[in-house]
Amino acid sequence: MTEAVGGLGMSPLEILVFLGAVALVLARWFPVGARRPVTLAAMVTVVLSGAVLIVLGVRWQLLPVLAGAAIALLFAAPPLLRRPTGRPAWRARWWLALPGSAACLAPIAGGAVAAWALPLPVFPEPSGQYAVGTTVMQWTDPDRPEIATSEPDDRRTVVVQLWYPAQKSPADLKRAQYLGRTAQEARVVSQGLAGYLGVPGFLLDEIPRAHTSSVFDAAVADGGGRFPLVLFSPGLGGVRTQNTAWAEELASRGYVVAALDHPYDSAAVTVADGRTIRTRIRATGDRAEDERLAAGWTAVRAADLSFALTQLGRLDRGDIPGPLTGRLDTDRAAATGHSIGGGSALQAARQDPRFVAVINLDGFPYDPAPRPFHQPVLALTHPVDPAENPIYIPRLTRVLKLSTTTSYRVTVPGTAHLTFTDAPLYMPPVPALVGSLGRTLGPDITAAASAAFLDATLRGKPGDIAALLSTYGDLTVHHAAKTR
């Protein structure tokens, strides 16, 4: 099936079916001389394009369109097929035809709205100098038991996806599947996300069909230099690919992004032996209890981030086979995350001095014992109403002030909590859900602000970082305290 056109969420063929269906319904209201040719043209358009669509694979969003067109055909076809007798063909009175036309148009319009609201995500082409490769690895920590199971010999395992600067691949080479290494894994993860969100699985059917801008196992970019590292922890129930557009943009600018699946936390994780591990984590709705539970979850995630950094060092040394041996700069590593993953990144930085910078994408700091830490932090947040959440910004501010160096908080206008993920690319454009910045502006701002901060902190790029960050929203700078 061809790609969607603009922001309509439908391919050219689907648009043709939709327009034919609308014309078929409205033909009855055309002037007498135009009714027959319009009806014939609409019938041919709907039948032919609909048949091709069914053969290629029809999306659930288009089923109401086809149903409305089929009902209209039942009433439009008989008069055209009837032999001429010299008598005018019978036509229903307007007061009878009007509700019939409305009844046909309703599912047709509903299908078009569904296609627009829940489109096939189209990932932006990264803007950096490098093409992007990706690969997936699984690592088990022999020193940490898996506390989510009762098996005494079970050890903590993480699945990590890397996006890295790569050599340019042929244009016709298939791009990486979104949500998984294979179409099957992508469907499993999509169903896991739907189950976690409590929505019917078919609503997310478009997501596993999407392809990104990267190529699996592409050759690493030429040159002998080492790339700075950006480790990423997703939101509660989130999966490693939830910020793919962000990761690909950073990789195109010369960073290696390592995003983690946290088994028993992420909605669905497919591991090497073929098992799918579902989440066992749920918010209770009780704020005090959820904070207590979240403190434990962030501790596990923080340890996962530190373990992943250790493994990346082994990968760089060649102790673990992989395409990035000798190309990873573990002395320039940032801990990052979204939502609870952002809080986990803050905790990982406090506990592990190997991280030299932190990016917190709208994450609440759940660390029960925050103490001074030495890394600069960039916190991107949505505009928070103190009446709805009176503790988030004050708690985040207290933690940022514990840094012994300068940290930054940028409140990005027009954003919501999910704006800082890939969600705007495929979820309904409801401001409370994904903000009001459209399909791509939110992810673009998230990537651009992150890159500006990382260039300054990991690469030492000169310039006024505060002035640069202020272009993305309302900036608050937290300078290091003179005494601790």
Q: How far apart are CA 37 and CA 379, in angstroms?
A: 61
Is a pLDDT exceeding 70 seen at residue 90? no
Whether 259 contacts 247, CB under 8 Å:
yes
- Give pLDDT tens digits for 187-207: 999 999 999 999 999 999 899
Whether 357 contacts 381, CB under 8 Å:
no
CATH of domain 131-478: 3.40.50.1820
Is a pLDDT exceeding 90 seen at residue 74? no
State the chain's mean pLDDT as an integer. Answer: 91
pLDDT for 34: 84
Q: Which residue has the higher pLDDT, 337 or 93?
A: 337
Task: Sort strands 215-216 and 227-233 into parallel, antiparallel or unpaired.
Answer: unpaired
Scanning the structure block, which residue is given the tokens 């209201």? 29
Would you say the pTM of this structure is higher than 0.75? yes
Q: Whose CA is closest to 276, among 147, 346, 179?
A: 179
Q: Which range, of 10-19, 410-419, 453-462, averages the lowest pLDDT?
A: 10-19
Q: Which range, of 40-44, 285-289, 391-395, 398-402, averages the lowest pLDDT?
A: 285-289
Give the H or E element holding residue 214: none
Q: Which parts of 220-286 fold into alpha helices (H)?
A: 244-252
Across 339-382, the runs of DSSP E, i.e. the strands, are 355-361, 377-381
CA angle at 347 for the pair 291 and 392, rounded to the nearest 5°: 45
**Ranges of each domain in the chain:** 12-117, 131-478
- Give pLDDT tens digits for 160-171: 999 999 999 998
Q: Which range, of 95-104, 216-225, 257-266, 292-301, averages the lowest pLDDT?
A: 95-104
Q: What would the mean pLDDT of 22-35 be, rounded to a whole number?
A: 84
Q: What would the mean pLDDT of 282-288 be, rounded to a whole number?
A: 83
Which of 153-189 are b and which e, b meaning 16 or more Cβ less than 10 Å from the residue's Cβ?
Answer: eeebbbbbbbbbbbeebeeeeebbbbbbbeeebbbbb
pLDDT for 484: 38
Is a pLDDT exceeding 60 seen at residue 1? no
The model's confidence at residue 77, banded by pLDDT at 50, 70 and 90, is confident
Whether 442 contacts 383, CB under 8 Å:
no
The model's confidence at residue 94, banded by pLDDT at 50, 70 and 90, is low
What radius of gyration, in Å, describes the C-alpha atoms of the chain? Answer: 26
